[in-house]
Chains A and B, each alone.
Chain A
Amino acid sequence: GEDVEQSLFLSVREGDSSVINCTYTDSSSTYLYWYKQEPGAGLQLLTYIFSNMDMKQDQRLTVLLNKKDKHLSLRIADTQTGDSAIYFCAERGSGSSNTGKLIFGQGTTLQVKP
């Protein structure tokens, strides 16, 4: 079945780069997403990548996709304390094109130390 896995916690120092990793099982995934959730809030879409791309860069964010290994990563350059949040990886498989259903990972809590 469809499954998305993430490590639960990452701690970095302010100014360092953060790399959050995600693996997924559905080889037919069409889109892969990164969402950010601040405490007590909803999810904010950070970026997404289409499955025929290897990399996408958007300001401080870089997404890398390795389709062969079904591995997705989010790199945040020059991490700031305001980046502290839970980051969710999500995928939408081709089988979900008629539902819009997203499969979410458990979320990675990013702690940024001053």
Chain B
Amino acid sequence: DGGITQSPKYLFRKEGQNVTLSCEQNLNHDAMYWYRQDPGQGLRLIYYSQIVNDFQKGDIAEGYSVSREKKESFPLTVTSAQKNPTAFYLCASSIRVGHTEAFFGQGTRLTVV
């Protein structure tokens, strides 16, 4: 079945450590996105990628980094520079940037301990 897979579902990180969240899609979509969700708030865009080897900052990119070496994969690294990293992270993809429908993964809940 086609879809987006995020792993792990739950992740714990010590303060000062970098951690990488995985996002893989087998939908042959060009565009991929990372959103952050905090309780009682909508989703905020961290980074997006229109095509392989290209990515752009979203609204809250500080403290995060991404790569897009393969079409299927768009990993997100939460660095120690991110002051408040505890949140629910959602990855999404669409056929191309601006296409009507975006498909979301099941999310990764990151907790800093």
Contact = CB atoms under 8 A, between A and B. Distances in A.
A42 B90 contact: yes
A114 interface: no
Contacts of A43: 43, 90, 92, 104
Contact of A48 (B50, B100, B106): B100
Nearest to B10: A40
A41 B6 CA distance: 11
Which of the four size classes fits the interface of chain B?
Answer: 20 to 34
Given A43-B90, A97-B98, A8 B105 contact: no
Contacts of B58: 101
Report, as a range, how many residues of chain A touch the other chain.
Answer: 20 to 34
Given A43-B90, A48-B100, A97-B98, A4 B106 contact: no
A83 B45 CA distance: 26
